[in-house]
Amino acid sequence: MKRTAYICDIASYLDQTITLQGWVSRRRDLGGLIFIDLRDRSGTVQVQIEPGSAAFAEADRMRSEYVAEFTGQLQQRPEGQRKEGLGQYELLATAARVLSAATTPPFELNKGSEVAEDIRLKYRYLDLRRPEMFEKLWLRSKVSAAMTAFLDAEGFVNVETPMLTRSTPEGARDFLVPSRLNPGEFYALPQSPQLFKQLLMIAGFDRYYQLARCFRDEDLRADRQPDFTQLDMEMSFVDQEDVLDLNERLMRHIFRTVLNVELPQPFSRLSYVEALDKYGSDKPDLRFESAFVEVSDLFAGGEFAAFSQAKTVKALAAGELTRKQIDELERVAKQNGAGGLAWLRREGEGFTGGISKFVGSVAAELIARTGVAEKGTLLFVAGEWKKSVTALGAVRLALRDLFDLTAGGPKFHISWVVDFPQLEYDEEQARWTYMHHPFTAPHPEDLALFGTERQGEIRAQAYDLVLNGFEVGGGSIRIHDADVQTKMFAALGFTEAEARAQFGFFLDALASGTPPHGGVAWGFDRLIMVMSGASSIREVIAFPKNNRGADLMAQAPAPVDAAQLAELGIQTLN
């Protein structure tokens, strides 16, 4: 028999004979009468098998996760036994067939969310049978389709770029692929299609996009995988405003068509410095406010040495905290680079606990500036600016999780962080390095700062898209002027010969007639993660890798044959 419909579409077949195929989700055997919940990707419906029916013997041997086919009349359930949605109906089976038997599942699928993640990953094909998992991947597919439709309508050209390319020394570690035809030489998997998309602009394609797989051999996190997907795009003859505007329209289109959510127009914007100074992160979670308060001046020259000598003292107002909670927050602050976490508890018009003996004269001003509530806690980090605000930013997020601070706010908060620094000083290597990438264009009015001691203040025409505290996109206007590119390489300490050795083909291309251009890359997996409310990127990737970069199902990575290595001219050390 041929399947008549997806289970979710059965309503239109009421009182007709239909054939359904799917998996046995549950079997309730009442002795004579058997009920089977049959599931396909679209839904689950109850099948009733009467003892006298021709379907009985076959249904009697069905177990969880057997693949089964039932033919029968679709009817309404007896009154009083109807439930919501598909629970109104049941299929009275006249024929049943086991299409495929199944071993007993290693975990109960309907309890999947409580099962240890490594078990789920090992049996991912079973985990993916769970409706929650299908829904997330379905959402992902819908977002992808909405993106494609929008960009296609806007005249973007979808171009694929190579997976086997050249290793570049900077940035993340490359995944290397040995070349059999060129023994001793290696391809690298792309960290992103950055150079290729710029070359497409040089080639005159004007507008490009691609859902691109990217590879970075770095340590993993809940929101990082070694292979991941970017929505990569690039536009010619544009400035930063053009790129931001198009991306806002695209994002609004996606949220509207897929989630029926209206995002604000325009998105809010804050500068990199402002984001760090107020929220302690270049990707602040703005679903709640909890901004820092500058209090350096109140302690300058005071008797509390840790504060009076610090370049920056920032305060963060919190609710009432126990000593234990404060200790935990201090641990967070220290792990994120702070020397410590000072605190005060407000009692009336003054403070107790923590560093209260140092604040007598400024208590009123502290209360006025921070607005800390009675019994509320003030938390302080002092020291060098970036270290302090970053540490307090981590405390801010810990408070968010502790007090569920996002509960009253919007479900989604999206913003641009702009004016990133062009250059960053790398203490370890004692040299300047780029913050975004070496082809990012600086603000024209900051050009004069190249080569001066103030080059750390050069602003880049770079921007990040931040959704609920996650960086879901980032990009820049690129350098299309050879002189500026030379300045940039010089600032990075590249000699002309070194630049040529690394990027010669690209520099030649730049000199061949390059339009002003810029673009962005979205962290597609992260976007889907936030849109679906998942807490890990692994939840929105069909076959993800674990913390250690292992695919527990396919058991990759794995050793290979000596003969395979020999053919590639490779020896392993151990």
Partner RNA sequence: GGUCCGGUAGUGUAGCGGUUAGCAUAUCUGCCUGUCACGCAGAAGGUCGCGGGUUCAAAUCCCGUCCGGACCGCCA
Q: From the list 3, 11, 28, 493, which residue makes contact with RNA (rule: CB under 7 A)?
A: 28
Minimum CB distance to RNA smaller for 35 or for 205? 35
Q: Point out which span in 127-135, 306-314, 410-418, 436-444 binds RNA (CB under 7 A).
A: 436-444
Helices (H), 65-193: 117-122, 124-127, 131-153
The answer to whether 44 and 27 are in contact (CB under 8 A) is no
Q: Which of 166, 224, 269, 369 binds RNA (CB under 7 A)?
A: 224
- Residue span 254-293 as binding mask against RNA, x where in contact by CB under 7 A, dash where not: ----------------------------------------
| Interface region with RNA, contact rule CB under 7 A, candidates 112-120, 126-134, 250-258, 512-520 | 112-120
- Closest CB to RNA among 2 and 111? 111
Tokens of 261: 């959510």
The residue behind tokens 């050069």 is: 458
Q: Check if the beta carbon of residue 211 is closer than 8 Å to that of residue 230.
A: yes
Q: Which stretch binds RNA (CB under 7 A): 31-39, 244-252, 371-379, 526-534?
A: 31-39
- What is the rounded distance in angstroms from the CA atom of residue 126 to the CA atom of residue 107? 9
Determine if 106 is a binding residue for RNA (CB under 7 A): yes
Torsion of CA 62, 68, 74, 79, to 10 degrees: 30
What SS3 class is residue 330?
Answer: helix
Q: Check: CB of residue 289 under 8 Å from CB of residue 350.
A: no
Distance, in Å, from the CA atom of 491 to the CA atom of 220, rounded to the nearest integer, reads: 31
Prior bond of 266 cis (ω within 30°): yes
Name beta bridge partners: 209.
Answer: 158, 233
- For position 170 contacting RNA by CB under 7 A, the verdict is yes
Closest to 27 measured CA to CA, from 57, 56, 47: 47
Phi, psi of 151 (to 5 degrees): -70, -35
Binding mask 391-430 for RNA (x = CB under 7 A): ---x---------------------------------x--
Q: Which of 21, 161, 191, 247 binds RNA (CB under 7 A)?
A: 191
Task: Identify whether the C-beta of residue 516 lies closer than 8 Å to the C-beta of residue 238.
Answer: yes
Strand, helix or coil for residue 349 = coil
Question: Closest distance between RNA and the C-beta of residue 117, in Å?
Answer: 5
Q: Which stretch binds RNA (CB under 7 A): 144-152, 190-198, 236-244, 487-495?
A: 190-198
Q: Interacting stretch for RNA, rule CB under 7 A, among 49-57, 233-241, 269-277, 489-497?
A: 49-57
Paired with 67 in beta bridges are 23, 100
Under rule CB under 7 A, residue 172 binds RNA = yes
Which residue among 6, 13, 35, 385 contacts RNA (CB under 7 A)? 35
Phi-psi group of 412: left, alpha or beta (phi > 0 → left; psi -120 to 50 → alpha; rest → beta) = beta
The residue within the footprint of RNA, chosen from 267, 351, 434, 506 (CB under 7 A), is 434
- 536 contacts RNA (rule: CB under 7 A): yes
Q: How many CB atoms lie within 10 A of CB 364?
A: 11
Residues contacting RNA: total by CB under 7 A: 68
Options 52, 204, 301, 360; binder of RNA; rule CB under 7 A: 52
Binder to RNA among 46, 71, 225, 377 (CB under 7 A)?
Answer: 46
With CB under 7 A as the contact rule, the residue among 433, 507, 509, 565 that binds RNA is: 433
Residues 319-378 binding RNA (CB under 7 A) are 335-337
Tell me if residue 381 falls in helix, strand or coil: strand
Q: Of residues 111, 430, 559, 563, which one binds RNA by CB under 7 A?
A: 111
